[in-house]
Amino acid sequence: MTGGAGYIGSHMTKRLAGLGHRVIVLDNLSTGHRVAARFGELVVVDLCDRAAIAEVFDQNPIDAVLHFAGSSLVGESISEPGKYYRNNVCSTLNLLDVMRESGVQNIVFSSTAAIFGDPQYIPIDEAHPKQPINPYGASKLMVERVLEDYAASYGLNAVSLRYFNACGADPDGELGESHDPETHLIPLILQAASGRRESVSVFGSDYETSDGTCVRDYIHVVDLCHAHELALDRTMDGRLRGFNAVNLGNGDGYSVREVLEVARDVVAKDHLRFRVVDDDRRAGDPATLVADARYAERLLGWRPEYTGLESMIQDAWVWEKKGAGVADSSVG
């Protein structure tokens, strides 16, 4: 597994280890955390180093690859596009070529809804035009095209899973989001509640939505991991061949204001609150991004279990309290 020391990858490592799989984690720890990879066997490797990847494959029996590694900050991709094409495209080519040389035919790829760009219709299905508006989305779309071409020419079996807004944390409280810098709305809100941040900003309140703020489709990290497990199983047993791409989301959207209200209720149980600051729109933020995930159910047999925002935020709040040293005052 690449990127197994990061947010989603670490949750997937724990899930697979719990199912009895041996998981080898390849991560350069540039954004991941060594402790988060503890459920697998960590090998500190940069995917830009093809020889180092080949050494790992030479020394270990590998049946399939889950590819989470990559750079993922939209703003940074605009200011540093070269970094994104190197880390997301060139490194994936290295990985795929080593897989070919080692006879490994199965891969599940962590993609993104950013490949679609500004939505032409909602909800967004797999047939939606793909017109990314930043280098991050463009680099992920390039990887999808590479996977499709490798499948056609070399017999690769690849499933690309396009996330919408990942959120939540391990229900056991052992793993969660630990980004630096943090850019995701829910952890930003919870950091403001725990005292690790002064406030949380609302970027724009004049969108054409029910309350004027952006609407997004949130999906619990546990549900994402379940989708990866199903995709892995179906490539390994031959039910999925060639290249397949799937959108992952709940199919329901929540506005920024709605997320704030649910979060207020969650942190209020610990007698805490947070400050909200209204700010200008950010460039490139579509009003609404919601997935049509029906194809995921047909292809993978996947359906999200966490459909309520409160449970997603509650799990993330347990993790945030742990990291911030906030005592649990919700009892008594």
Choice between 323 and 313, residue whose per-residue pLDDT is larger = 313
Residue type, 47: L
Residues ≥6 apart with Cβ < 8 Å to 232: 64, 66, 106, 108
Instruction: Give the pLDDT of residue 283.
Output: 79
Q: Which of 8-17, 176-185, 283-292 has the highest mean pLDDT?
A: 8-17
Instruction: Say how many residues make up the chain.
Output: 332
> For 159-183, what is each residue's pLDDT tens digit?
999 999 999 999 999 999 998 888 9
Q: Does pLDDT of 223 surpass 60?
A: yes
CB 282 within 8 A of CB 202: no
Instruction: Give the pLDDT of residue 180.
Output: 84
> For 190-205, what is each residue's pLDDT tens digit?
999 999 999 999 999 9
Residue 332 pLDDT class (50, 70, 90 cuts): very low
Q: Does pLDDT of 329 surpass 70?
A: no
Instruction: Give the pLDDT of residue 331.
Output: 44
Which of 7, 84, 136, 150 is catalytic? The answer is 136
Q: Tokens in use for 255? A: 């506005």
Residues ≥6 apart with Cβ < 8 Å to 323: 176, 178, 194, 196
Residue type, 205: S
Residue 272 pLDDT class (50, 70, 90 cuts): very high
> For 104-143, what is each residue's pLDDT tens digit?
999 999 999 999 999 999 999 999 999 999 999 999 999 9
Please give the average per-residue pLDDT across 32-56, as a whole number.
97
Q: Which domains does the chain have, with CATH numbers?
A: 7-168+219-248 (3.40.50.720)
The whole-chain average pLDDT of the chain stands at 95
Instruction: Give the pLDDT of residue 68.
Output: 98
Question: How far apart (Å, rounded) are the C-alpha atoms in residues 276 and 168?
Answer: 21
Instruction: Give the pLDDT of residue 285.
Output: 84
Residue 243 pLDDT class (50, 70, 90 cuts): very high
Please give the average per-residue pLDDT across 260-266, as a whole number.
98
Instruction: Give the pLDDT of residue 179.
Output: 86
The arrangement of strands across the sheet holding 157-163 comes to 65-67, 106-112, 157-163, 243-248
Q: Up-side HSE of residue 157: CA atoms within 13 Å toward CB?
A: 18
Does 84 participate in catalysis according to the annotation? no
Instruction: Give the pLDDT of residue 270.
Output: 96
pTM value > 0.85:
yes
Q: Tokens in use for 219? A: 């999906």
Please give the average per-residue pLDDT across 222-233, as a whole number.
98
